[in-house]
Structures are given as C-alpha cells and as structure tokens.
Amino acid sequence: KQEVTQIPAALSVPEGENLVLNCSFTDSAIYNLQWFRQDPGKGLTSLLLIQSSQREQTSGRLNASLDKSSGRSTLYIAASQPGDSATYLCAVRPNYGGSQGNLIFGKGTKLSVKP
Amino acid sequence: NAGVTQTPKFRILKIGQSMTLQCTQDMNHNYMYWYRQDPGMGLKLIYYSVGAGITDKGEVPNGYNVSRSTTEDFPLRLELAAPSQTSVYFCASSYGGAGLAATDTQYFGPGTRLTVL
C-alpha cells in the first residue's frame, strides 16, 4: 500500500532563508507527484507537478525534484517570504491497476516565515 | 472561469441527519473527486467519477453516496450523519485521470467544513 510521509511536520524560518521540504513515498510505481499549497480555511492550490519520467520542475522561486527509485521528492523554496506561510502537501498518483487518478497525500508541512 | 465551486461552506448536522454537499466545475473536466481531510491529516479519497454516469469508490466510501448525471456536477450525499464524518470535504476535478492522461493537475474547490454533533 502506498504511503506518503512529509518531514518536518512544521517549520519556522526567518524571512529570506532558503528552505527544503521533504516528501517520501513507499511505492515507486507512480505516474506523477504533485506539490500543493493550502492556506488556512482554503482549498488546495497546485504548485508543481513532476511526471515520473522527470527529475525536476521549476516555477519562480520553487523547485521540486523527484527521485522515483529512492521514493523521495524535495520542494526547494528560495528567498522565503512571509507570504509563503502555508501548509505544503505532497501527493503521488499511483500507477497500478484499478487506480483512476486518485492521489495519495502526505499530512503536510506547516511552514511559517517570520518577517 | 469560476473553477471548482462547493456549497455550503459550513454546516452543522445532528447525528442521523442527512445532507448533500454540492460541487460544480466549469472547466469541462472529465474526472471529479471527493476527498475528506481530518485535522492534522492528509486528504483521503471518498469517491471519484471518470465521466457522467460513472462513479467508483475510493479509500473511505462508507457512509457516503455520489451521483454524476452531468459533466459539471458531482454531489456527495451523507446519509445518517455520524460524528466520525466531522471533517473538511474537498471536491476536485481534472481533465484526465488514468494511463497516459494521468499527468494533469487536479483543481480543488474551497472545501465544506462539516461538523456532526
């Protein structure tokens, strides 16, 4: 059974720091991995999607990497800002019979960036 | 485009009551999903649909029912509400889902916060 783990559960950094969020998954049979941002009381916003054949994706100050063989992904945030404060969720889309696109989520990392 | 909309935003139910959570998307997506998120936990899939008239169970379907009569709408029905169904419910949609089409992004609604007392 696919399980997704995110470490750390919470992280507090001063503004301007570069930081890394970690995600690990137990089964390498995946179509893709997505990183989402969730603001309090809001829905999820997709940040980056990495297909299983890709190694990384970049969007602005965000860079996500994927090492499928080792079951790991990292989300790198450069020059963090207070507006980056949110919970970051990692999710994988399993690649096995019967799966129709459902995502398996980690519990998230709650990030606080202090001015 | 409004994207994915959900109603209501908040609801309090008594044990044994029933209700329907509404979800509508205007992106002409084929796939739609219902997830629940318990405090401090990741999202878990309740039901999903690959197109109008086709639905299937996810990881935690017990106590829920769905229907998909149109491409746009995917309501979630709670029958005989229980305290264990207290959660935040998210609806999502995507253009494709399985096989080679399973590379696209899921778009989420703002959620419905449900409390069962």
- For A11-57, the pLDDT digits (tens) are 999 999 999 999 999 999 888 899 999 998 888 999 999 988 999 99
Beta pairing class for A19-25 and A104-105: unpaired
Nearest to A44 among B59, B104, B108 (CB): B108
**What would the two tokens of residue B109 be?**
């609604």
Chain A residues with CB under 8 Å of B40 CB are: 107
> What pLDDT was estimated at residue B2?
79
Contacts of B13 (CB under 8 A, 6+ apart): B19, B78, B81, B114, B115, B116, B117
- Whether the CB-CB separation of A108 and B43 falls below 8 Å is answered with no
Comparing CA positions, the residue from A10, A11, A19, A33 lying closest to residue A105 is: A33
Looking at per-residue pLDDT, the higher value among B70 and A94 belongs to B70
* Nearest beta carbon to residue B31 from set A4, A89, A101: A101
Per-residue model confidence as pLDDT tens digits over A78-108: 999 999 999 999 999 887 755 556 789 999 9
Q: Which of A81-85, B55-59, B103-107: highest mean pLDDT? A: A81-85
**Token output for B31:** 């796939």
User: Letter for the amino acid at A34?
Assistant: Q
pLDDT above 60: residue A64: yes
Q: Per-residue pLDDT for B76 more than 90? A: yes
Q: What tens digit of pLDDT does each residue of B9-29 get?
A: 999 999 999 999 999 999 999
Q: Which of B35, B42, B108 sits opposite A107 (nearest CB)?
A: B42
Please tell me which residue of chain A has the smallest CA distance to B97: A101
Mean pLDDT of B109-115: 95
* Mean per-residue pLDDT of chain B: 91
* Interchain contact, B102 vs A101, CB within 8 Å: yes
Counting one residue from chain A and one from chain B, the pairs whose CB atoms sit within 8 A come to: 73
Contact predicate B49/B55, CB 8 Å: yes
Report the share of chain B in percent with pLDDT over 90.
76
Looking at residue B81, its pLDDT comes to 95
pLDDT (0 to 100) of residue A99: 53
Q: Which amino acid is at B73?
A: D
Q: pLDDT-based confidence at B95, cuts 50/70/90?
A: confident
